[in-house]
Amino acid sequence: MIKEVAPLMKQHKSCSIVNIVSVYGFLGAAPVLAYTSAKGGLITMTKSFAKELAPEIRVNAIAPSNVNTDMTIGAGKELIEFFKKETPLKRIAEPNEIAKAALFLVSDDASYVTGHVLVVDGGYSLK
């Protein structure tokens, strides 16, 4: 999709792309090997596109851990409690917290940020 929209985006003065990856792209997780591998690939792809599309387009990513979504809820109450226990902030993220990170990355406040993966995980990846 990035390859398709990049030529159109380059026609504008300042553009930004934000990919959603996962801290599991850094950490890995055996039970979800395909998921973590795909997210790891997206991290590398984000950095590669940041180099390829600069200076017209900034490309960054957000790496959340567990977010209060249908996917996380589907993991079951026991696993959610485990995630909360293992997270220094003792909770999982709300979707609006990830949205606020995306708004920052597309804003002028992040005008000198490209190729970055913003980890929004309540400290989960500090293990």
DSSP 2: H
Give which of 50, 51, 20 is closest to 38, Cα–Cα. 20
Helix (H) or strand (E) holding 64: strand 57-64
For residue 35, indicate whether it is catalytic: yes
The distance from CA 3 to its chain's CA centroid, rounded to whole angstroms, is: 19
C-alpha pair distances (Å), 97 with each of 49, 87, 93, 115: 25, 16, 6, 21
Of the candidates 24, 35, 112, 124, the residue annotated as catalytic is 35
Active site residues: 35
